[in-house]
Amino acid sequence: MTFAQRLDRIRGLTDTRLAALLRTNTERLEGDAPSPERLSQAIRHATLGGGKRFRPFLVIESAALFGLPEDAALDTAAAVECVHCYSLAHDDLPAMDNDALRRGQPTVWKAYGEWAAILAGDALLTAAFETLSQPATHASADVRLQLIAGLARAAGVAGMVGGQALDLEAERAAGRAPLSLAAILHLQRLKTGALIRFSCEAGAILGEAGDEAREALRRYGDAIGLAFQIADDLLDAEGDAATVGKAVSKDAAAGKATLVSLMGREAARAELARVETSAVAVLLPFGDRAGPLIEAARFVAARNR
Amino acid sequence: MTFAQRLDRIRGLTDTRLAALLRTNTERLEGDAPSPERLSQAIRHATLGGGKRFRPFLVIESAALFGLPEDAALDTAAAVECVHCYSLAHDDLPAMDNDALRRGQPTVWKAYGEWAAILAGDALLTAAFETLSQPATHASADVRLQLIAGLARAAGVAGMVGGQALDLEAERAAGRAPLSLAAILHLQRLKTGALIRFSCEAGAILGEAGDEAREALRRYGDAIGLAFQIADDLLDAEGDAATVGKAVSKDAAAGKATLVSLMGREAARAELARVETSAVAVLLPFGDRAGPLIEAARFVAARNR
């Protein structure tokens, strides 16, 4: 199977699993009692409206390093994707990034209203933890608790929420000096890096791997998280809306410092290549099994070409 | 100790534990890296700005039925309170209930802005699950997973989020018939009842109680959840802002159906007395240890007197 085929296959599996999870959630509300229709639609829009399912790919392929079949990592992959989709639904809100378009579609608040987007995000964040608490996720209670603790750290103040807050505080602080390169690297490590790193580490947790392997997956996750961000900034600086599926050059238009604006395009490309190399290097001890993750690093770095 | 003293004591313990939990969360971000100041302030405002800590009281006193000391239930109590505070921060937003005042103070969005209120809520919901995943919450991994699954159900689409969505859908559907009494009872069971019920059940989970005791605590929780709602509606219909600490008669002004407007005040008072009696009855098998929970049922029912 080529990398594109693998990614596509995992996307299909994840979509099916997510749809089943959301159905289970809604069925609990059935019977005579009225169910919140608009909320259900907003949740489906937030989760099933496309998306590469790159984080589920990382969970499943990281778990495969330790011999786990796709099925054994799929619920964890779906939980991680729920958290990703929740963060998009909230970050797109008018009070935050005020984005009307995502993946070529109206964002959740644009399609269903702000309250539905807020509650859909809340529901997805909650559903992620519920999913991880279930025996179907992994037979070992200790593994499930490690996944929950790790996902909570990646999502919370020391991760995504903290990163988004730093971003908004910097953007809205009148008269404050623009962020330094170090500050932007820190912010992105929290905002987007933390969940990507956890996606990779989750594979090692599911595989009950030793400390060394777990640390290797964390380092791989850090590297591709950074590569992802540099590639995203390059796309934003160079792409056009039709290719990217969302508004581009928004950061530049807002006069916002990015990795690319601070480093320059050429230096950013060189850094991207360096990070790609280090992501690949950390996987060498895993041998042939690491093929898909190595290709993933190349895929991320190549997004802007 | 009188009931008021017990409630006050648990309030103090919960405040201290919550403050420590939030400190731990923020400390992870320290060092050279900038920390999101406004977010931290919003989180503190959302959690430490007063509140009776009634749900923590229920967790701790339910656990006490099974011989657990306060300390052994305090992290669970704090996690439940984090979820309660998150829901207030989100529900108060302009896109939802648009409340500017709570506990006599500005609401989180009013004090720190909408984005900070959204992210503070997200952070608190996440922190609740992280707290429950930790060994300090309970020595048994299985107990911690049951708490996580139960809290997620109470908070999600089949609980608080679903109830809030039903409320908003009913309020905003132009030309839709007003809700029936059955529909309002269902809505409130989800919106406020689910977390109160879980608070009581959590004590049984922590105490590793049998099915019968666990079911009794769920029924007690259902009863006081309903009592809480009737008393709240009576307060809204009769109280004044100075006593209640938030805007009152808002539902009536909005022409919104409530339990009280549909039943009439006298019938609502009679139903409140009936529910109080059934809450007390379900606790009889627990003997003297149930004293504080019996007083809690009376306290809830008496709030509007």
Locate all alpha helices (DSSP H) within B65-180, ordered by sequence.
70-91, 108-112, 114-133, 141-155, 160-172
The per-residue pLDDT for A106 is 97
The per-residue pLDDT for B257 is 79
| Banded pLDDT at B2 (limits 50, 70, 90) | confident
Q: How far is B264 from chain A (nearest CA, A)?
A: 23
Three-state DSSP string of A161-224: HHHHHHHHHHHHCCCCCCCCHHHHHHHHHHHHHHHHHHHHHHHHHHCCCCHHHHHHHHHHHHHH
Chain B residue numbers with beta carbons less than 8 Å from the beta carbon of A43 are 157
Strand partners, B106: B101
**Cα Rg of chain A, angstroms:** 19
CB atoms within 10 A of CB B57: 26
Strand partners, A101: A106
Instruction: Tell whether A125 lies on the interface with B, counting CB pairs under 8 A.
Output: yes
Minimal Cβ distance to B157: which of A123, A164, A186: A123
The per-residue pLDDT for A20 is 94
Q: Tens digit of pLDDT for each residue in A148-185?
A: 999 999 999 999 999 999 999 988 876 667 789 999 99
The per-residue pLDDT for A24 is 78
Q: How far is A209 from chain B (nearest CA, A)?
A: 19
pLDDT at B241 over 70: no
The per-residue pLDDT for A252 is 57
The per-residue pLDDT for B239 is 67
pLDDT at B28 over 90: no
Chain B residue numbers with beta carbons less than 8 Å from the beta carbon of A112 are none
Cβ contact, residue pair B96, A118, below 8 Å: yes
**CA–CA dist A103, A119 (Å, integer):** 21
Cβ contact, residue pair B152, A133, below 8 Å: yes
Q: Are B233 and B262 in contact (CB under 8 A)?
A: no
Average pLDDT over residues A86-104: 96
CA atoms within 13 A on the CB side of B25: 34
Minimal Cβ distance to B93: which of A28, A118, A127: A118
Two tokens, residue A249: 């050059």
Average pLDDT value over all residues in chain A: 91
A positions 244-273 inside 8 Å of B (CB): none
Instruction: Tell whether B164 lies on the interface with A, counting CB pairs under 8 A.
Output: yes
Two tokens, residue A122: 């809340």
Q: Tens digit of pLDDT for each residue in B187-211?
A: 999 999 999 999 999 999 999 999 9
Average pLDDT value over all residues in chain B: 91
pLDDT at B242 over 90: no
Q: CA nearest A32 in B: which residue?
A: B183
Chain B residue numbers with beta carbons less than 8 Å from the beta carbon of A28 are 157-158
pLDDT at B245 over 60: no
Of A112-116, A253-257, A259-263, B96-100, the poorest mean pLDDT is in A253-257
Name every residue whose Cβ is closer than 8 Å to that of residue B305 and which is 6 or more positions away in sequence: none
Q: Are A122 and B90 in contact (CB under 8 A)?
A: yes
Better pLDDT: A238 or A99:
A99
The per-residue pLDDT for B177 is 74
Chain B residue numbers with beta carbons less than 8 Å from the beta carbon of A118 are 90, 93, 95-96, 118
In the numeric block, the tokens 């007063």 are attached to B50
Instruction: Tell whether B127 lies on the interface with A, counting CB pairs under 8 A.
Output: yes
Q: Tens digit of pLDDT for each residue in A201-255?
A: 999 999 999 999 999 999 999 999 999 999 988 988 876 555 555 555 566 566 6
Q: How does DSSP assign B228-239, residue by residue?
A: HHHHHHHHHHH-
pLDDT at B141 over 90: yes
3-state SS assignment for residue A35: coil
pLDDT at A257 over 90: no
Minimal Cβ distance to A145: which of B122, B127, B141: B141
Q: CA nearest A143 in B: which residue?
A: B141
Alpha carbon distances (Å) from B158 to A169, A179, B161, B241:
34, 42, 7, 32
Cβ contact, residue pair B28, A158, below 8 Å: yes
3-state SS assignment for residue B84: helix
Minimal Cβ distance to B115: which of A122, A157, A168: A168
Of A258-272, A281-295, B25-39, B198-212, the poorest mean pLDDT is in B25-39
The per-residue pLDDT for A49 is 79
Instruction: Tell whether A129 lies on the interface with B, counting CB pairs under 8 A.
Output: yes
Alpha carbon distances (Å) from A18 to A127, B122, B133:
10, 21, 23
Q: CA nearest A125 in B: which residue?
A: B126
- pTM of the complete model beyond 0.90: yes
pLDDT at B29 over 70: no
Report the largest interatomic distance among the alpha carbons of chain A, rounded to a whole angstrom: 62
Chain pair A-B, CB pairs under 8 angstroms: 172
Evaluate the CA torsion angle B285, B286, B288, B292 in order and state its sign. negative
Minimal Cβ distance to B125: which of A93, A126, A183: A126
The per-residue pLDDT for B33 is 66
**CA–CA dist A167, A171 (Å, integer):** 6
**CA–CA dist A46, A84 (Å, integer):** 10
Interface test with B, best of A122, A140, A169, A185 (most B CBs within 10 A): A122
Evaluate the CA torsion angle A137, B190, A24, B204 in order and state its sign. positive
Name every residue whose Cβ is closer than 8 Å to that of residue B242 and which is 6 or more positions away in sequence: none
**Cα Rg of chain B, angstroms:** 19
Chain A residue numbers with beta carbons less than 8 Å from the beta carbon of B183 are 33-34
Chain B residue numbers with beta carbons less than 8 Å from the beta carbon of A119 are 90, 161, 164-165, 168
Q: CA nearest A97 in B: which residue?
A: B115
Question: Percentage of chain B surpassing pLDDT 70?
Answer: 90
Instruction: Tell whether B47 lies on the interface with A, counting CB pairs under 8 A.
Output: no
Two tokens, residue B23: 């400190």
